[in-house]
């Protein structure tokens, strides 16, 4: 079977099975629209630890252990963990994996990391290089704000286009055998940069990358948007979501009836998240909680999850560079 399809896509000959997932959120996430779809909620953004970064490491470690336990496996059954976060040198992930002591590949795709981890993990299993892997991602609002923007204590006013970084983590166990939805194909994204330089406007910056990957997925696989019950992007927020619909309409496709953005699903309007949620945990907590439960319950049968990531850094911003963006897509079907 020819696994490479078209220019950027992969069709899996032995589709990996997502046998379990787990997610964790902070207090704001627990008070949001999907508060009932979390395995764990922490009471505050420190969780009785001495730093936000340690809290993030705890969350990532916790969800991987929980996902393993939920499918009645042991952590030693995991052949490899693919995971990442938003911080410099993936420090939250590295300290979490230090505690787990499993073979590990660190991934940096910014907020596309959850989809990327499942994409790479699926390739490992389909290729016969592993029997069981974990894909995971995390973010922490306060840690990300401190690195990318301003000290949290400063209380800087955010513009309406800004989004709120999710405090949380998600993990999915992919296996060569078992029961659950399967990853049937994937599309690897490429860098798209239309020159946006404002680090508050991440939804508009990432929307063209999401459209580029979705359009290529359609061209490579021959699957029209209507093939999927729903298409989900990772964290474009309300502004980026509107742009995706408009950009796809310019290509002659109306996806407004079966498209949603995870960043618009987490917080309620009363929570003042402005344009919505962002961060690695945006798509991670939504997929590993609500979406996975909908798939297992048969309320969704075919979804396309498009992880979206803005690949800027404090250094690139200070050097007045624009924001390179990427999007990776995984097709998940019951």
The pTM of the full predicted model, rounded to 2 decimals, is 0.96
Domain made up of 182-333: CATH architecture: 3-Layer(aba) Sandwich (3.40)
pLDDT digits (tens, 9 = 90+) for 100-126: 999 999 999 999 999 999 999 999 999
Q: Residue 297, Cβ neighbours under 10 Å: how many?
A: 9
Range of weakest confidence among 45-59, 145-159, 243-257, 268-282: 145-159
Domain 182-333 in the same topology as domain 4-175 = yes
List alpha helices for 134-236, DSSP H.
Answer: 141-148, 202-221
> Across the chain, what does the average pLDDT equal?
95
Pick the CATH number of 4-175 from 4.10.80.400, 3.40.47.40, 3.40.50.170, 3.40.80.10: 3.40.47.40
Q: Calculate helix-pair angle for 141-148, 52-70, nearest 10 degrees.
A: 140
Q: Is the pLDDT of residue 156 over 80?
A: no
- In sequence order, the β-bridge partners of residue 328 are 307
Q: Is 27 helix (H, G, I), strand (E, B) or coil?
A: helix
Q: Which two tokens stand for residue 20?
A: 């379990």
- The confidence score (pLDDT) of residue 159 equals 75
Domain ranges of the chain: 4-175, 182-333
Contacts of 203 (CB under 8 A, 6+ apart): 161, 163, 235, 236, 237, 238, 239, 240, 241, 243, 263, 275, 276, 278
pLDDT digits (tens, 9 = 90+) for 44-103: 999 999 999 999 999 999 999 999 999 999 999 999 999 999 999 999 999 999 999 999
Beta strands in the chain (DSSP E): 4-5, 9-11, 17-25, 40-41, 80-84, 104-106, 132-139, 164-165, 168-175, 182-187, 230-233, 259-261, 277-278, 302-310, 325-333
Strands 168-175 vs 17-25: parallel, antiparallel or unpaired? antiparallel
pLDDT digits (tens, 9 = 90+) for 130-142: 999 999 999 999 9
């Amino acid at each position: 079977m020819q696994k490479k399809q078209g220019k950027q896509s992969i069709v899996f000959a032995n589709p990996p099975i997502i046998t379990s997932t787990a997610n964790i959120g902070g207090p704001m996430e627990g008070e949001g629209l999907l508060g009932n779809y979390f395995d764990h909620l922490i009471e505050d953004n420190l969780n009785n630890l001495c730093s936000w970064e340690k809290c993030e490491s705890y969350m990532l470690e916790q969800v991987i252990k929980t996902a393993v336990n939920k499918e009645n496996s042991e952590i030693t059954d995991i052949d490899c963990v693919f995971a990442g976060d938003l911080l410099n040198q993936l420090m939250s992930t590295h300290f979490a994996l230090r505690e787990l002591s499993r073979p590990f590949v660190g991934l940096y795709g910014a907020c596309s990391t959850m989809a990327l981890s499942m994409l790479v993990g699926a390739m490992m299993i389909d290729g016969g290089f592993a029997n069981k892997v974990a894909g995971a991602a995390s973010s922490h609002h306060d840690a990300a704000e401190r690195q990318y923007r301003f000290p949290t204590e400063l209380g800087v006013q955010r513009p309406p286009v800004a989004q709120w970084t999710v405090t949380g983590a998600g993990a999915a166990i992919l296996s060569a055998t078992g029961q659950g939805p399967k990853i049937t194909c994937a599309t690897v994204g490429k860098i798209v940069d239309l020159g946006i330089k404002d680090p508050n406007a991440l939804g508009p910056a990432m929307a063209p990358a999401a459209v580029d990957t979705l359009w290529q997925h359609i061209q490579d696989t021959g699957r029209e948007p209507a093939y999927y019950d729903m298409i989900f992007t990772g964290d474009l927020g309300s502004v980026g979501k509107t742009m995706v619909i408009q950009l796809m309409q310019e290509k002659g496709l109306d996806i407004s009836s079966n498209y949603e953005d995870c960043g618009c699903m987490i917080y309620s309007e009363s929570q003042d998240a402005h344009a919505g949620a962002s961060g690695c945990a945006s798509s991670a907590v939504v997929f590993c909680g609500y979406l996975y439960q909908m798939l297992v319950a048969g309320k969704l049968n075919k979804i396309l999850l498009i992880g979206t990531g803005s690949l800027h850094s404090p250094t690139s911003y200070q050097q007045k560079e624009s924001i390179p963006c990427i999007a990776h897509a995984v097709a998940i079907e019951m």
